[in-house]
Homo-oligomer: A and B are copies of this chain.
Amino acid sequence: MKIVVINRLLKETHKEQIRKAAAVAGGSVLFVGSEEDIPSGWEDCEVIYGFGMKNAGKNKDLKWLSVPSAGVDYLMKPGVFANEDCLVTNSSGAYGVTIAEHIIAVSLMMMRRLDYSYRESLKGNWSSPVLQKSLKDCRILVLGTGDIGCSFARRARAFEPECIIGVSRSGMCEDPAFDAVKKVSELDLLLPSADLLVMSLPDTPETRDILNRERISLLPYGAFVVNVGRGSAIDEDALCESLENGKLGGAALDVFKTEPLPPDSRLWKTKNLLITPHVAGNLTLEHTLNVNVDMFCKNLINYSKGLPLNNLIDKSKGY
């Protein structure tokens, strides 16, 4: 079994861990920094751990693609796999910690107007105080109660919010960090009481433009929006308008309809909009990379034994 691992951030300890798992699984491993570096003799590999989309499009022998990302929307289009039966797993579960920290960071930056203080400090200005908001007594609505939503809610709880309500497709989530979890069909009833709306949703037909113009108008005056899932979930033009006209207190977007965000996008210049370049779930955070590698190694043993894979994607659902 030929296993190709594509990731230039791996340390020697990660490689050693993967080599050991591969030995148990009866496979041999090749490490490359990018897909272009796969040498001849390895293009027909059975397993790829990494972003191996070009190989997947040509390699009929590929049986399992394990991607280090949580989102897999880019793999759901027809024609991506030369072998239509190729299994796909994602790394959902590796990003809870880092993305939760991102959500807390940008929420507080917006609510405490640290963007303003920081911008002024770059100009050497000791700026005047501005009105601040707080996570204390805040009503938080979390769209998406997976690993990321739960990890965020557990951290947000420590800030003594008034409530943390989760919203999921099923309306169910065991995590006690939520005061309640509701079905997505109740979303319109929940938005008017959301001081902070956190969105962590995969890209599926149901989530596209889920925060449309009408729903933005349901949010209370001065509400804050954070999106760390997929950019497709928000009507970006409607969001910009509601920031410009002061309806929303602020928004922090890490994901966008088009990435990288084009230089001429109106979003760059929109008032009270905090833009980060899809870094909330960056593998440059060592903890995330460690968990990611752990997950692949466990799955590799499962794969070699014919056991069910963790994080297996249902291509009909898209997640």
Contact = CB atoms under 8 A, between A and B. Distances in A.
Given A126-B260, A284-B129, A287-B136, A108 B115 contact: no
Contact of A261 (B98, B126, B159): B126
A259 B129 CA distance: 14
Interface stretch (A23-31, A85-93, A209-217, A268-276): A268-276
A6 to B, nearest CB: 16
Nearest to A155: B158
A128 to B, nearest CB: 8
Contacts of A122: 119
A252 to B, nearest CB: 10
A117 B275 CA distance: 8
A104 to B, nearest CB: 6
A131 interface: yes
Contacts of A112: 101-102, 105, 279
A154 interface: yes
Contact of A97 (B127, B128, B133, B136): B136
A314 interface: no
B101 A135 contact: yes
Contacts of A279: 112, 117, 129-130, 132
A114 interface: yes
Interface string A220-252: 000000000000000000000000000000000
Nearest to A103: B108
A287 B134 contact: yes
A277 interface: yes
A277 to B, nearest CB: 5
A300 interface: no
A243 B279 CA distance: 24
Contacts of A108: 101-102, 104-105, 108
Contacts of A134: 97-98, 101, 285-287
A114 B276 contact: yes
B135 A277 contact: no
A198 interface: no
Contact of A284 (B132, B160, B282): B132
Contacts of A268: 121, 124
Interface of A: 97-98, 101-102, 104-106, 108-109, 112, 114-115, 117-122, 124, 126-137, 154-155, 157-160, 259-261, 263, 268, 274-277, 279, 282, 284-287
28 contacts: A97-B134, A97-B160, A98-B132, A98-B134, A101-B108, A101-B135, A101-B159, A102-B108, A105-B109, A105-B114, A108-B108, A117-B277, A118-B118, A118-B274, A120-B277, A121-B274, A121-B275, A124-B263, A127-B277, A129-B279, A129-B284, A130-B279, A131-B284, A132-B284, A134-B286, A134-B287, A136-B287, A155-B158
